């Protein structure tokens, strides 16, 4: 795991931030064993802020404290499917609220994000960040911090598996096509079509990830 020595006063917060980023970005893959001492040495801190950060990550559902080891939380293919279904239900509500408030400036921002994603030389990590930015930017229009917080927590559970998704596709042509259709429905304020496109997009992403997990399990 790539980390940087910390030279700030809020050690626990910074350790938590860096570890959380590593886990949600897939750098620390699901199932990875974590050594408190090794992390403390890598961060150049004592074990206390590392342990505190890991306890916070445990409450986030991102790590598991076992009897003999601490590991990055991992999901089965069935569990990933369930999380995607939960995510879709929350995003359906966010969509219904956001579409009533979306403005032309919001749509312009969404088009800008898609334009930045539609590059032949885009890196997979950059695409994943922009992908989340695209969806979050629209759901921001719902103007419901509580709902966005719930969506964010679900995203955290599935985001490590988006690294699997990015590694499974040859390019992002199909994902871009789906995003364009979603944006067209937003611009038209067509709630029915938008909900349909969102469901198709979620199913496509979930199926890509779960297929990879199932194949890995058989290997």
Given a contact cutoff of 8 angstroms between Cβ atoms, the answer to whether 60 and 73 are in contact is no
Q: What is the pLDDT of residue 188?
A: 98
Do 95 and 30 lie in one domain? The reply is no
Q: What is the pLDDT of residue 218?
A: 65
Q: What is the pLDDT of residue 156?
A: 87
Q: What is the pLDDT of residue 171?
A: 80
Q: For the chain, what is the radius of gyration of the CA atoms?
A: 19
Q: Is 82 exposed, middle or buried, given 0-12, 13-18 or 19+ CB atoms closer than 10 A?
A: middle
Do 84 and 63 lie in one domain? The reply is no
Collect the ranges in the chain with pLDDT lower than 50.
Answer: none
Q: What is the pLDDT of residue 27?
A: 84
Distances (CA, A) of 112 to 105, 118, 196: 11, 10, 23
Q: What is the pLDDT of residue 165?
A: 80
From 35, 54, 72, the end of a domain falls on 72
Do 58 and 93 lie in one domain? The reply is no
Do 65 and 150 lie in one domain? The reply is no
Do 195 and 209 lie in one domain? The reply is yes
Q: Domain of residue 18: give its range.
A: 11-72
Angle between helices 124-139 and 77-98 (to 10 degrees): 40
Q: What is the DSSP string of 87-144?
A: HHHHHHHHHHHHTTT--HHHHHHHHHHHHHH--TT--HHHHHHHHHHHHHHHHGGG--
Q: What is the pLDDT of residue 205?
A: 93
From 32, 56, 72, the end of a domain falls on 72
Neighbouring C-beta atoms of residue 200, cutoff 10 Å:
13
Q: What is the pLDDT of residue 117?
A: 95
From 23, 54, 72, the end of a domain falls on 72
CATH code, 184: 1.20.120.530
The answer as to whether 1 is a domain residue is no
């Amino acid at each position: 795991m790539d980390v940087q020595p910390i030279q700030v006063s809020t050690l626990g917060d910074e350790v938590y931030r860096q570890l959380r980023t590593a886990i949600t970005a897939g750098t620390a893959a699901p199932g990875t064993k974590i050594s408190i001492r090794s992390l403390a040495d890598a961060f150049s801190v004592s074990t206390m802020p590392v342990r505190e950060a890991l306890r916070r990550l445990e409450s986030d559902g991102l790590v598991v404290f076992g009897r003999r080891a601490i590991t990055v939380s991992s999901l089965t293919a069935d569990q990933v499917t369930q999380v995607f279904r939960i995510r879709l239900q929350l995003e359906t509500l966010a969509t219904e609220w956001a579409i009533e408030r979306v403005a032309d400036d919001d749509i312009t921002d969404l088009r800008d994000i898609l334009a930045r994603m539609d590059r032949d030389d885009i890196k997979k990590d950059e695409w994943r960040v922009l992908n989340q930015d695209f969806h979050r930017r629209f759901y921001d229009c719902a103007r419901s911090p509580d709902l966005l917080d719930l969506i964010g927590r679900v995203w955290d559970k599935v985001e490590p598996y988006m690294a699997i998704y990015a590694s499974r596709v040859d390019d992002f042509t199909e994902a871009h096509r789906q995003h364009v259709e979603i944006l067209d429905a937003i611009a038209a304020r067509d709630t029915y079509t938008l909900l349909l496109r969102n469901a198709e997009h979620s199913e496509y992403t979930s199926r890509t990830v779960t297929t990879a997990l199932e194949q890995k399990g058989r290997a």
